[in-house]
Amino acid sequence: MAILSIDFGGTRTRAAWFSDELDMLARDEAPTPIGLPPAVVARVIEIARRVVPPGQKPAAVGVCAPGPQAGTGLILHAPTLPGWDRVPLAQMVAEAFDTPVFMENDANLAALAEYHLGAARGANPALYLTVSTGIGGGAIINGALFTGWRGLAIEPGHIKFPLPDGRIRSLEDLASGTAIGRRAKERLAEGDQPSALRNCDVVDGRTVGLAAAQGDALALEVVAEAGRWLGLGLVCLMHLFNPQTIVIGGSVASLGDLIFDPARQMIAAYLTDPAFNDPDLIHTARLGDDVCLIGAAFYARARSEI
């Protein structure tokens, strides 16, 4: 039973055709159009049709969609889709291909892909974090995606920490790429510490990361601060899930040891017992841009076999 997989992403829409054994046989992609549901969905379906071999029909379709509640089959006010509200994307795709559709969000499907083919292969439990514009996550427990009661589980970006000034902030507001960019801007405005970032037109997570990689002291400090918060979040996840493997993906993870060394220092300092840790516990994500296509294919197969 061949599987059609669709990754309806914020900037690109990808589609792939998978064999029975989930080998990727065809693949295509195009920019995700901007607009309102009917036209955008029609275009997404058109991109997907390109990978379906002539005369064939998928046994199931896996769809990766934005927003924590994608498991409902609806797109509920995703931040990247202004004007979309409870759009029944799964149903619209099901009608187009006349076949069952199984939809989930990107972090959950990335977790599933890394579990089957990537850096968390066979781990139980396997945790996946994406640290990028925001922070998302997914968990595989006993080989299956864990999504909780209403499909909302594993939102590590929403772990809350009190700051020294009494405010309470989300991990996402402290350790994401967005947070790194904002914190750098605050530091530049607050003081007169020299920094290459003072000559940048745009100070954001990406440019702060580049400056940090080139040894800029202010950028390094901002990245290290984010890494320490990330580490405190990981300490929480380790005490609650006792994972065998944690895979970290997303643009911030590509900073490597600049962000992971401070995180590891927090883990070493605040983990209750070394039994919770393992030198081989934390990995960077191994699958690239196709991670959600792969995850959606595995998800559709698992769900359609139930």
Write out the residues near its own copies by the rule CB under 8 A.
68-69, 123-125, 141-142, 146-156, 158-166, 168, 170, 232, 235-237, 239-244, 269-270, 272-273, 275-276
Buried b (16+ CB within 10 A) or exposed e, 5-43: bbbbbeeebbbbbbeeebebeeeebeebeeeebeebbeb
Q: Please, what is the minimum distance in Å from the beta carbon of residue 158 to its own copies?
A: 4
Q: At what angle do helices 257-270 and 205-213 cross, to 10 degrees?
A: 90
Q: Please, what is the minimum distance in Å from the beta carbon of residue 283 to its own copies?
A: 14
Nearer to its own copies, 168 or 189 (CB): 168
SS3 category, 33: coil
Rounded to whole angstroms, how far apart are CA atoms 80 and 108?
18
Q: Please, what is the minimum distance in Å from the beta carbon of residue 75 to its own copies?
A: 14
Q: Please, what is the minimum distance in Å from the beta carbon of residue 108 to its own copies?
A: 12
Nearer to its own copies, 205 or 243 (CB): 243
Nearer to its own copies, 37 or 151 (CB): 151
Triad 92, 98, 101: Cα angle to 5°: 60
Contacting residues for 166 by C-beta, under 8 A, at least 6 apart? none
**Are 281 and 119 a contacting pair, CB within 8 Å?**
no
Nearer to its own copies, 63 or 232 (CB): 232
- H helix and E strand count, the chain: 9, 12
Amino acid identity at 81? L
**Are 117 and 87 a contacting pair, CB within 8 Å?**
no
Nearer to its own copies, 166 or 215 (CB): 166
Nearer to its own copies, 158 or 182 (CB): 158
- Reference 122, options 241, 236, 243, 234; nearest CA is 243
Q: Please, what is the minimum distance in Å from the beta carbon of residue 41 to its own copies?
A: 24
Q: How far apart are the first and last CA of the chain?
A: 14
Nearer to its own copies, 29 or 106 (CB): 106
**Are 91 and 34 a contacting pair, CB within 8 Å?**
no
Q: Please, what is the minimum distance in Å from the beta carbon of residue 93 to its own copies?
A: 23
Nearer to its own copies, 30 or 161 (CB): 161
User: Dihedral sign, CA of 266, 270, 275, 276?
Assistant: negative
Q: Please, what is the minimum distance in Å from the beta carbon of residue 16 to its own copies?
A: 29
Q: Please, what is the minimum distance in Å from the beta carbon of residue 189 to its own copies?
A: 23
